[in-house]
Amino acid sequence: MDIGFVWDEHKYQTVQKEHNVKFYEVVSAFDDPNGYEVPSPSGHEDRWLWVGRTAQGRILAVIYSEEELPLYRFITAFDAEGRWLDEYHKRQGI
């Protein structure tokens, strides 16, 4: 099954303005073999948090939903910080 990615255009414009995150960066973060996934900290049972390094070298935290598989619907994305960044480095042995 091929997986695709979608983002509500209005929400994408907001995230792009507030966090300077581009769609192609978020997609590339999912290609990180060292990335990891945990349930979303927001408590929504159908949402997940992915932390991964982009092709541009940023480590992003991405909240997304799988409710429309085979599409991942992006909710938001931002530079990983705090416990998520620490966990990413811990998994890399850094």
Q: Cα separation of 27 and 36, whole Å? A: 14
Residues facing residue 67 across a β-bridge: none
pLDDT score of 63 = 94
Looking at domain 4-92, its CATH superfamily turns out to be Ribonuclease toxin, BrnT, of type II toxin-antitoxin system (3.10.450.530)
- Compute the Cα dihedral for 83, 84, 90, 93 and give only its sign: negative
The full length of the chain comes to: 94
pLDDT single digits (tens) 11-60: 889 989 999 999 999 999 999 999 999 988 877 778 999 999 999 999 99
pLDDT tens-digit readout, 46-75: 899 999 999 999 999 999 998 777 888 899
pLDDT tops 80 at residue 78? yes
